[in-house]
Structure 1
Amino acid sequence: MTRAFPVDPHSYARPNEVVVQHLSLDLTADFEEHRLAGSATFDLEHRSAGATELVLDTWHLDIRNVAGADGAALPWELGEHDPVLGRPLTIQVGAADRVVVSYATDPEEARAVQWLEPQQTASGKQFLFTQSQPILARTWIPCQDSPAVRATYDATVRVPSDLMAVMSAENPVERSADGVYRFAMPQPVPAYLIALGVGDLEFREIGSRSGVYAEPSVVEDAAWEFADTERMIEAAERLYGPYRWGRYDMLVLPPSFPYGGMENPRLTFVTPTVLAGDRSLVTLIAHELAHSWSGNLVTNATWNDVWLNEGFTVYFETRIDEEMYGAAYTSMILRLGLQELERAVEQEKPRDTWLELDLTDPDDGPSKIPYEKGSLFLRLIEETVGRERFDAFLRTYFDTFAFESMDTPTFLGYLDRELLRHASVTPEQLQVEAWVHGPGVPENAPHFESDAFDRVDEQVTRLLTGTPAADLRTDDWVSQQWVAFVRALPVDAPATLLAEVDGQFGFSGSGNIEVATAWLELAVESGYAFAAPVVDQALSDFLTRHGRALYIRKVYEKLAATDRGLARAREIYAQARPGYHSVSQVTIDKIVGRP
């Protein structure tokens, strides 16, 4: 029996009545008008007897025509605009199994799409990219914009002939002479995983099934930075089964991309901030790769279930890290993750620290709670039942629910039935209810030891008891230890001490976004940023150089905590905002109080 779709509070779609099975896009990218225009053709399945209406999600789309496969017009209506959900497009399809919607995006309201001017790119040419997660696909495609609804798709995209188009699909590796590109995605995916990038791109192969697209001045550095990708794929397959998406390629985007990475199938979108030059930040690739199983293969049914996506992926990412770089390295990642979780719990309302969320607007973005608390919960299960048993359970889980969606109640029932009972463990012993439907971090959370961080603590103690920064033993430290070092410095440390460590270790000029963020948070909270022109300049450079939402959000939040800092935040933001993607704009607008 076909499983029913869950009720999604963030979508108008009614997939239990009529559901999209395949999407064909035919779009032209107009860089002058900042508009995508063309058609979306939907192949339909009628799942309910007598169902005659197809309901699609839209957001400020210009719907120009709706017709059946024979070209005959079909009756349609746009509902009232909701500030979170947009407008439902209701089409009277009757018994038709194919519908064509002709439309265009709004230049100002297509929030998934960012159009970049030549001065905003490395190559000096125009660029566009989409970022549809969580509910922004409806801003550039009329669709059933719920993570539970999956469809295959193909696309024809027309772009200027000096640019190259790529999608989360089977991609070309060379530029088309006429600017016309055709794509196919044979595996069914939810709408948020449909992605488009257009720019001055080149391709470099880095493995038998992996490669990187980037602007010409960036592509060689990116290929070097991501050289371990094929080994990561092999490590992931050893853990949880075959990679089922054909190729795993990456697209390095301009600095305004709001995330570290976006796990678009076959083509992960990546921030240039991971190109540190020393491969110190490539665990991000492990995270996005892990999404090929958790998130892309088995997808959260609604955005309130996002921990089933991100929590699983953080856990899987650290298992890949352990396979690649060893347990000592992974213990540092786990300790830093626990720090992030503890900070998030302090900052969030108690209800927002549950694993099963109750989101009003998914585009506000979840905190680190579903990521780190979800991963920690899985670590607890692993410790309780044993790694071998837990790995076998996860591999079966991914096989059983491949290309399907999963909600929290269904997963908890499956966990109890297929794992806990066989291990003679009860949900009460694990405190499952406290983890999933309770605030904060339960008392039975795992803890992680790290000799590498113990050495950091020793050097911080030496520094605070009078040892000059130049005499600290830091020669073999990796970036995670530097982050831990900065976080361990007291907020009330004297300005002379902060100036000394900055002069010795160059934190203000760090090209590592993790280290730079930790340092700027400390500098702002301590007040040092307002006393040292070099740090204030670093602060401005950091916030205007890129738009990676998680990191700029941290710094803006520290600034907004005081009147002086808020004034400085607004000064910087006035300059930086035009270069941010709408995902980052929405987040920072609220922090700095922009109407």
Structure 2
Amino acid sequence: MRFAAPLALLLASVAAVPAQAQSAELVSPVLLSDDARDPWSFAQPEVARVTHVALDLALDFEAKSVGGTATLDIAARPDADTVVLDSEGLQIARITDDAGRALPFTVGQEVEGKGAPVTVSIGKARRIVVTYAAAPEAEALQWLTPEQTAGGKFPYLLSQGQAILNRSWVPTQDSPGIRQTWEARIVAPKPLTVVMSGLKVGEPEDLGGTRAFRFSMDKPVAPYLIAIAAGDIAFRELGPRTGVWTEPSMLDAAAAELADTEKMVEAAEALYGPYRWGRYDMIVLPPSFPYGGMENPVMTFLTPTFIAGDRSLTGLVAHELAHSWSGNLVTNANWSDSWLNEGVTSYFENRIVEALYGSRRASQEAALSFAEIETVLAEKGADSPVTALHLPKGTDGPDDSESGIVYDKGAVFLRTVEKAVGRERFDAWLRQWFDSHAFQPATSAMIVADMREHLIAGDAQLEEQLMLDQWVYAPGLPSNVARPAASAFAEVDGAAAHYPSSHFIDPEAWAGWTTAERQRLLAKLPRKLSHDELDRLDRDLGLSHSGNSEVLFAWLELALANRYDPAVPVAEKFLSQVGRRKFVLPLFEALWGQGEWGQPIAKRIYAETRAGYHSVTQGSVDKLVTSGG
């Protein structure tokens, strides 16, 4: 069966989507502050700002392209006669006003890592229509062949917009502080199903060989949160407002792993207020998806690597759900403050895990998180600017942050504040933060000011105790840091401490440990191990046969770093089945670091697996393998 039609034919079937007129202030006062200005967007929102995007697009799997129109509603100053959009390779055919009159536009010089500005002469027009197509190599989009899917019969499309990739398929102002409502009509070949990060509107429209799907997001969101997936996917309801999409062959396993989702939503609401997005659905994507998850509103995108069969890795789901408050509801105004999205969410995630699975699991996962901070500080130095929560200029690229800082140091900062003021008082403050800044951009300066107003409230002793400015703006860890309880991994740490003399880990003890404890053990083992020691560990603990991706990854990273030949075919299989950058890049780094032994292996495996990775993963590994690091 043919799963593409020429783009021109598909576009001919696309009917116009009426755009909604928006009444909104020109720009949030937040965006006028110096620390909120986004250096990674060409937009000038204080002059003219996109408020609503109406997409009318067709998917062409043969050409690997998306094309059609984007109708943009614009709020502008009375004297404004231009609007500046962001573009990364967009093929723009024409731009008109809503009456069809052509509007002049220019595409400016391309800037590496940023794309190019599209300056449109709008005159008095406040609604424009951009007719365009995304380039086949659009970085936000990944087109999978049938062979790259679980079912093996149909092609697949997925998008990943964060941080600044959506400008490669949506012509808008691609900056997290410029929130926009949106709607979409997407035409796809039968029998493929389309889902997006908006609520479904009606049933698909049958157009013969294609179907049209409609979606709406009536709440203003950061543009990186517009997301799409299309493929042979099926749906399973999990609760009154929760469900999961995935390929039919994966549906049972995905639904079983996600059975606690409705309880997670209830736990999150009990902590920090109502869930404001209507539904909370998820899609478990093919393994090439580059991240663990992406918090796209009403449709979280998930990697299948979280499926372990025992719900031991569902902290990932708690994390993406928590983003419905921190990140989606209150969003960092630019990427120098990405800890406001990720650090707050990581704290919130741990609280959800504690509510559902108990304090033991939560404390263990918090301890693993703290170890990530220590790793970054050891590698970068405690005085490195990149270890500050608010990234200073020159270190604030959209993808330049260290996850051990923006995720883990951010979470520990909030845990430290909670410990100082008490959980009840802290929870009341965080809930009001979400309520007071809902659907708005935020900066580090804003959250520090909010803490001073609502938590410190003039208490000089508490001000000194919390050390807010040092936490947010200075590198390293302040002296008041709330360290994890030493008892969280007492048994595991004891086993690791005895290993250098015993060369033995008790298989029965291992069998009873949690995923977090197994990760901790593998992280605490000596970094230099002999072939015989690795043989025994693998034989006693069954490491190469682990069905838990986190455990298998930790084992492979250790084994490859010690030139353990039996791990090579296991790693090759893993790297051919998983595209998550968190796993892929470190394993190639482990091989590459072994010089003449590992580099030929890395090159051979990457030549075989690269085509199956998303551009996000490719870009990271390319730098290593093609340029030597």
- Smaller-chain TM-score range? over 0.9
Alignment partner for residue 15 of structure 1, among 28, 32, 45?
Answer: 45
List runs of 5+ in structure 2 lacking aligned partners.
Answer: 1-24
Distance in 2 between residues matched to 1:560 and 1:383, nearest whole Å: 42
Shift of 1:216: 0.4
Q: Which moved more, 1:131-140 or 1:492-501?
A: 492-501
Q: Which residue of 2 aligns with 1:351?
A: 385
Q: 1:19 is matched by which residue type in structure 2?
A: R
Q: Which residue of 2 aligns with 1:492?
A: 528
**Contact in 2 for aligned 1:161/1:176 (Cα 8 Å):** no
Q: Secondary structure at the match of 1:187?
A: strand
Shift of 1:219: 1.0
Deviations 1:511-559 (A, max 9, x none): 21211121112112233x2xx32x1111212222111011222222222
Q: Which residue of 2 aligns with 1:578?
A: 611
Shift of 1:214: 0.3
Shift of 1:175: 6.5
Tell me the TM-score normalized by structure 1: 0.95
Identity, in percent, stands at 44
Sort the Cα spacing of 1:113 and 1:402 in 2 relative to 1 into closer, same or farther, 3 A: same
Deviations 1:399-427 (A, max 9, x none): 00000000111221122122122655454
Distance in 1 between residues matched to 2:579 and 2:62, nearest whole Å: 23
Q: Secondary structure at the match of 1:206?
A: strand
Sort the Cα spacing of 1:203 and 1:471 in 2 relative to 1 into closer, same or farther, 3 A: closer
Deviations 1:417-475 (A, max 9, x none): 22122655454432223222222222221111254511112333454443754565233
Deviations 1:309-363 (A, max 9, x none): 0000000000101111111111100110011111122233611111111445414
Distance in 2 between residues matched to 1:365 and 1:542, nearest whole Å: 27
Q: Which residue of 1 aligns with 2:289?
A: 257
Trace 1:291-306 onto structure 2 (pairs within 5 A): 291-306=323-338
List runs of 5+ in structure 1 lacking aligned partners.
Answer: none
Deviations 1:183-211 (A, max 9, x none): 11111111100000000010000011000
**Contact in 2 for aligned 1:459/1:472 (Cα 8 Å):** no
Q: Which residue of 2 aligns with 1:439?
A: 475
Alignment partner for residue 595 of structure 2, among 545, 556, 563?
Answer: 563
Tell me the TM-score normalized by structure 2: 0.90
**Contact in 1 for aligned 2:579/2:612 (Cα 8 Å):** yes
Alignment partner for residue 186 of structure 1, among 191, 200, 218?
Answer: 218
Q: Secondary structure at the match of 1:28?
A: strand
- Count, aligned residues: 589
Shift of 1:171: 2.7
Distance in 1 between residues matched to 2:203 and 2:374, nearest whole Å: 47
Trace 1:480-519 onto structure 2 (pairs within 5 A): 480-519=516-555
Q: Which moved more, 1:469-478 or 1:138-147?
A: 469-478
Deviations 1:58-112 (A, max 9, x none): 011101010001100111111001111111011111221210000001112x000
Q: Which residue of 2 aligns with 1:474?
A: 510
Trace 1:187-586 onto structure 2 (pairs within 5 A): 187-348=219-380, 350-357=384-391, 358=393, 359=395, 361-363=397-399, 366-421=402-457, 424-449=460-485, 451=487, 453-466=489-502, 468-469=504-505, 472-527=508-563, 529=564, 532-533=565-566, 535-564=567-596, 565-586=598-619
Q: Which residue of 2 aligns with 1:164?
A: 193
Q: Which residue of 2 aligns with 1:94?
A: 123
Q: 1:89 is matched by which residue type in structure 2?
A: V
Sort the Cα spacing of 1:8 and 1:467 in 2 relative to 1 into closer, same or farther, 3 A: closer
**Contact in 1 for aligned 2:159/2:227 (Cα 8 Å):** yes
Sort the Cα spacing of 1:260 and 1:368 in 2 relative to 1 into closer, same or farther, 3 A: same
Sort the Cα spacing of 1:394 and 1:86 in 2 relative to 1 into closer, same or farther, 3 A: same
Shift of 1:587: 1.2
Trace 1:86-125 onto structure 2 (pairs within 5 A): 86-108=115-137, 110-124=138-152, 125=154
Alignment partner for residue 30 of structure 1, among 50, 54, 60?
Answer: 60
Shift of 1:16: 1.1
Q: Which residue of 1 aligns with 2:21?
A: none
Shift of 1:30: 0.3
Sort the Cα spacing of 1:451 and 1:366 in 2 relative to 1 into closer, same or farther, 3 A: closer
Q: Secondary structure at the match of 2:94?
A: strand
Q: 1:144 is matched by which residue type in structure 2?
A: Q
State the superposition RMSD in angstroms: 1.8
Shift of 1:17: 1.1
